[in-house]
Chains A and B, each alone.
Chain A
Amino acid sequence: MPVQAIDHIRNFSIIAHIDHGKSTLADRFIQGAAALSNREMSEQVLDSMDLERERGITIKAQSVSLEYTARNGETYQLNFIDTPGHVDFSYEVSRSLYACEGALLLVDASQGVEAQSVANCYTAIEQDLEILPVLNKIDLPSAEPERVIQQIDEIIGLHANDVTSISAKTGQGIEELMEAIVHQIPAPQGEFDAPLKALIIDSWFDNYVGVVCLVRVFDGELKKGDRIRVMSTERQFQVSELGIFTPRKSNWDKLTTGRVGFVVAGIKDIDGAPVGDTLTHAAHPTETPVPGFKRVQPRVFAGLFPISSNDYEAFREALGKLRLNDASLAYEPESSDALGFGFRCGFLGMLHMEIIQERLEREYGLELITTAPTVVHEVLTRDGDILSIDNPSRLPSIGDIEEVREPIIRASILVPQDFIGNVIKLCEDKRGVQKDMQYVGNQISLEYEMPMGEVVLDFFDRLKSASRGYASFDYSFQRFQQGDLVRLDILVNNDRIDALSIIVHREHAEQKGRDITERLKDIIPRQMFEVPIQAAIGSKVIARSTVKAMRKNVTSKCYGGDMSRKKKLLEKQKEGKKRMKQVGKVDIPQDAFLAVLQVDSNK
């Protein structure tokens, strides 16, 4: 690829809700720029992992540089910077956007704008990006371009005459869109002679070369052989390789101001190149890093335990492998009385957790029990220490606690007027405090402050059901705040099940206790004896239920004949038992450990 001057470079992202067609559009760009032969053009190149393909979302951002010869006869380099498509990854999205001068707001012409796109779009506007609204799927009979264009105007303030209509599937309007990118998105700017300042947009681990960073050069230039410094860690490395993805890897000698490309510099692990950090030259460092760098903090924690204790080592290895490419995944060994040895894992949010869980099960063949997710609580002790508690069973005893603080998020919800009552009620049930409410066309934009602990359980599912799927949701972490919080313990057959403890607001404790004990009564199979189930705060039992004893367990009829079927029954019974965890004398099925989640969703 010939080297274009900086005024012929366009750096852009696509802001889109899941399923609004981002990957299909990216494929069209690549095809339009003929970067790959048809054979290479396996569908949706950018979503490299199967799991992502299935869910239709991108988790790790990947960028691609394309050459496009415009109608004016000039050839441009278009750098498409991919963004992860979910609320849990808002920080990564903000870093990708920061690397761009423009963004396409891609909206499904039948579905309309969703909260997540709105939130990301605001981030882009705050960063002074040029936003090109794009209506996708206009070939579908259900498309309502006028309505959606009006919505974009009302909610985001972008006007109808700026909207490009396309069908990423059929290719309709793609050329017009590429022309719009060339002519409306500004070229990058920067100082060629200033010390190097490059933003790490993303980084991942490659088995052969170690960590690969995707960077955007703001000032100066980065050459092969340069000695560079990662600013937050002050660690130094030597650049061994750099270049661009077309999407094939193409090695260059240098990346100059305004460009986006990859850098390999002998960085051994992903923590050596945190997303959002700045690369500069070791000898002539820049004075100011790219603003906005944050260390990613896992906010949702859950215990993951192998069903078979023999899998513990394999589980540890699998986590290690996933961690190579995912700096936001945290884990440390945990042992539970109920579930044995496992790991306490930290995730950015619920989706991140689900993805990791699925990858562990699918790619590594592990069978795992996951406890209900919890958030990190801060505990101020009587001694004046501040503890960070990511596991409810580790909460100090009541006497040692001065106060417990819970994480508060700000939730942005976009909901059609018809469902506003349901959604407000849900937010109030979840201890939300309304901060803002605005009518935007026939939608209402709600802002709530809410305890994150209430959100991680089942908020998203309940929001969907309260709005027949129409409400959309985005959130960001705000602060820790003191609350009247207590630990609710669950006792099965008088044994406390540590993996079932949760931290709840005192006012909700009794209801929650009743719900969980009732739910467990249905989940725990009858045993050969009666099993009491209790919910308790400290030593005070606040709710109880009983699993009645099984009356008998015997095959009525059995004559000589065919023993094999009876044997299979016994084997099945044993298999079933194996999938349960024995706590004391009671066999507890895996579902029980998620009972805390299920109580609410069943209402």
Chain B
Amino acid sequence: MLTPPPIGLYVHLPWCVQKCPYCDFNSHGQPRETPFEGYTDALLRDAETEAESLDGRTIGSIYIGGGTPSLFPPPTIDRLLTGLSRRLPLGTDCEITMEANPGTFELERFRAFRRTGVNRLSIGVQSFHAHHLRALGRIHGGGEAAQAAEAAREAGFERFNLDLMFALPGQTVTEAEADVARAIELGARHISHYQLTLEPGTAFHAQPPTLPDEDTAAAIQEACSARLAEAGLERYEVSAWSVPGEACRHNLTYWQFGDYLAIGAGAHGKISDAATGRIERYSKWRMPQQYMARAGGPEALAEHYPVVAEERPLEFAMNALRLTDGVPAAYLTARTGVTEDAFEPALSDAEAEGLIERRDGRVRPTERGLTFLNNTLGHFLPAT
């Protein structure tokens, strides 16, 4: 039986000063006159329509991603959050994360953002090495990266994440370890440590830089993981590390196959309807102008499609098995609406190969199953 899962809200703010060559998110270079206010109006109109899908639930988390959301003036963010809280019932302990760039311009605004109700920052540090930052096309320097954590704390953010990338062009194990060490030293209690991959549609994909080979990348990851673990952080998802209890609640909603509303250009959402048993995915128009013209109206969706029963075990596994501790076994049915049998023979096969385990009422990937997650998930692909 499909039961309404917890729900979050994703807000997409699409503009960046310039697009990074590795980025495959829906981001756009800033026009001379960025329509911050008009866009915010569109978001609020959009939120009003989205509210209809809540089905009595309150919003447990808001994630403002981009683009570079910290380009938005703090008063506009304030208007946005105030507007959202009038249109959507926010949970009492609602986690509100905003992505921020560690540039000088943004650091000075952290305090103002904190006052708007944002209670968690995710800072796109990527590296503390100037030459790596340059290679990544980042516009901030190593020094600014280091100051960002300090600025966040001073601004009153108890919770912040530092994004670090590894397997960068020319990166050595020592350099990667130094990045991790620096992030720990700066007091990060949450670190997203993810590998640079060349995604289709990016500048790097068209003109690939020379990346460390498979063995070096693996060596980097091993060394860094050891550092993170020594510092008391736990790997709770493939790329996410935190001190216990500090996991990102919004991302957990994704990974536990929860629901999320989506507002903003190119934003993707997922809604479960317990009454009809339908699970639907949808996305909004990608181009900011297109989006603004249509938000709040009947044309707001660029696409929407049901997740059919046959696809649900795979989609569930693609999320749930990213979590080192997996999910309660009860979620299999509660969050997909299909019986546990529908997960067979995938579960048994993967278990027989030592890729997952079912214990203590949970289903979780083994260490091997996580290392070879794509192989693990291969078992869940619907037969064709």
A residues near B, CB below 8 A? 526, 528, 548, 550-563, 565-567, 569-571, 573-574, 577
Residues of B contacting A528 with CB < 8 Å? 368, 372, 375
Residue in B215, B253, B322, B381 whose beta carbon sits within 8 Å of that of A570 in the complex: B381
10 sampled A-B residue pairs with Cβ under 8 A: A526-B214, A528-B368, A552-B371, A553-B375, A555-B197, A556-B194, A560-B268, A561-B268, A570-B318, A570-B377
Q: Given the interface contacts A556-B238, A556-B239, does A562 sit within 8 Å of B218 by beta carbon?
A: no
B372 in contact with A558 (CB, 8 Å):
no
- B binding-site residues for A, Cβ under 8 Å: 10, 194-195, 197, 200, 214-215, 217-218, 221, 238-239, 251, 253-254, 260, 268, 270, 281, 283, 311, 314-315, 318-319, 322, 368, 370-375, 377-378, 381
B238 engages A562 (CB within 8 Å): no
Do the beta carbons of B315 and A558 come within 8 Å of each other?
Answer: no
Is the Cβ of A562 less than 8 Å from the Cβ of B268?
yes
Please state if A560 and B10 are interface contacts (CB–CB under 8 Å).
yes
Instruction: Count how many pairs of residues, one from A and one from B, have CB atoms less than 8 Å apart in the complex.
Output: 79
- Chain B residue contacts of A577, Cβ below 8 A: 378
Chain A residues with CB under 8 Å of B270's CB are 560
Given A567-B314, A571-B381, A574-B381, A559-B251 contact (CB < 8 Å): yes
Q: Is the CB of B197 within 8 A of A562?
A: no
Min distance, Cβ A20 to any Cβ of chain B, angstroms: 45
In terms of DSSP, what is the predominant structure of the interface of chain A? loop
CB contacts (< 8 Å) of A556 on chain B: these are 194-195, 197, 238-239
Known: A551-B217, A563-B281. A557 touches B194 (CB 8 A): yes
**If A570-B378, A571-B381 touch, does A558 touch B371 (CB 8 Å cutoff)?**
no
Interchain CB contact under 8 A, A553 and B314? no
Q: Is the CB of B371 within 8 A of A559?
A: no
The chain B residue sitting closest to A566, CB to CB, is: B318
In addition to A557-B239, A560-B254, 16 A-B residue pairs with Cβ atoms within 8 Å of each other are: A550-B214, A551-B218, A551-B371, A553-B372, A553-B374, A554-B372, A555-B197, A557-B194, A558-B318, A558-B322, A559-B254, A560-B268, A561-B268, A565-B200, A570-B377, A570-B378
**B253 to chain A: closest residue by CB:** A560
Across the interface, which residues of A come within 8 angstroms of B283, CB to CB? Answer: 562
Contact residues in B for A561 (Cβ distance below 8 Å): 10, 268
Q: Which residues of B contact A560 (CB under 8 A)?
A: 10, 251, 253-254, 260, 268, 270, 319
Could you say which residues of chain A place their CB within 8 Å of the CB of B315? 563, 567
Q: Chain B nearest CB: distance from A141 CB in Å?
A: 42
B224: min CB distance to chain A, Å:
13
Q: Which residues of A contact B370 (CB under 8 A)?
A: 554
Are A553 and B318 touching (Cβ within 8 A)? no
Q: Are B318 and A552 in contact (CB under 8 A)?
A: no
Nearest-Cβ distance from residue A214 to partner chain B, whole angstroms: 48
Q: Is the CB of B218 within 8 A of A552?
A: yes
Q: Which of A526, A548, A555, A562 touches B374 (beta carbons < 8 Å)?
A: A555
Closest chain B residue to A528 by CB distance? B372
Task: Out of B253, B318, B372, B375, name the residue touching A563 (CB < 8 Å).
Answer: B318
Contact of B318 among A548, A550, A557, A567 (CB under 8 A): A567
- Which 8 A-B residue pairings sit nearest by Cβ, starting from the closest? A551-B218, A560-B254, A554-B373, A556-B195, A556-B194, A553-B374, A561-B268, A552-B371
CA distance A566 to B375 in the complex (A): 13
- Considering only CB atoms, which chain A residue lies closest to B222 in the complex? A551
How many angstroms from the CA of A567 to the CA of B260 in the assembled complex? 19
Indicate which residue in A548, A550, A559, A562 contacts B372 across the interface (CB closer than 8 Å): A550
Task: Give every chain B residue within 8 A of A567 (Cβ-Cβ).
Answer: 311, 314-315, 318
Are B254 and A557 within 8 A (Cβ)?
Answer: no
Query: Cα distance A528–B375 when bound, in Å?
Result: 9
CB neighbours of A571 from chain B (8 A): 381
Residues from chain B with a CB closer than 8 A to the CB of A558 are 238, 318-319, 322
* Nearest-Cβ distance from residue B190 to partner chain A, whole angstroms: 14
Contact among B251, B372, B381 with A552 in the assembled complex (CB-CB below 8 Å): B372
Expressed in whole angstroms, the Cα–Cα distance for A552 and B214 within the complex equals 8
The answer to whether B251 touches A553, judged by C-beta atoms less than 8 angstroms apart, is no
- Please give me the residue from chain B that is nearest to A554 by CB atom: B373
CB-based contact A551/B194 at 8 Å: no
Task: Please indicate the chain A residues that have their CB under 8 angstroms from the CB of B195 in the complex.
Answer: 556
Question: A565 vs B200: C-alpha distance in the bound complex, in angstroms?
Answer: 10
